Structure 1
């Protein structure tokens, strides 16, 4: 829900209505509402478009989007932190 909260915060701070943002994303308002409430996961392309529309750094929104996905996968798993640390090592090794 990190991404959902940030989208709502940005949208409201700019005085935009959900229907205005959903129109620019070319999706219906109920679908956008679900994204903003964290009930539906936005697609990567939608996250990039939202960043553009709301003048937010795309890397920030993509990081929040990925964080939400990771949390969905590891939530309730006892070995979550250990698994994330192992994944971090692999990610760093693959960057080299």
Structure 2
């Protein structure tokens, strides 16, 4: 899973539309659309804003960590079982795809 996919996935977990999310992190919606679709790299400033709002590390967004360690504003300090399972499934898909690319 690349940075754009991680951002999109975490935004969806928060239940925000792309416009709502872009407004919250003070990034133009068309820019956010290009970021989430992988058509534009994320600047250092943008990755910091996004990571802070999503309450994850920039390392997770950049793929340097495999677990997001999300802190939810509802007082919880970890992912729900459903969220953990979803992310594990996505990680398994990513690893499978990565292995296929190595074989080619």
TM-score (norm 2): 0.55
Which runs of at least 4 in structure 1 moved beyond 4 Å after TM superposition? none
**Structure with bigger RCO (C-alpha 8 Å, 6+ apart):** 1
Q: What is the count of residue pairs matched by the alignment?
A: 64
Structure 1 unmatched runs, 5+: 66-96
**Deviation of the 1:45 alpha carbon:** 1.1
Structure 2 unmatched runs, 5+: 65-104
Alpha-carbon distance between aligned partners in 2 of 1:27 and 1:11, rounded to the nearest angstrom? 14
| Offset from partner CA, 1:36-67 (integer Å, 9 cap, x none) | 01001110111111111111122222x338xx
Which of the two has higher C-alpha Rg?
1
Indicate the structure with greater helix content. 1
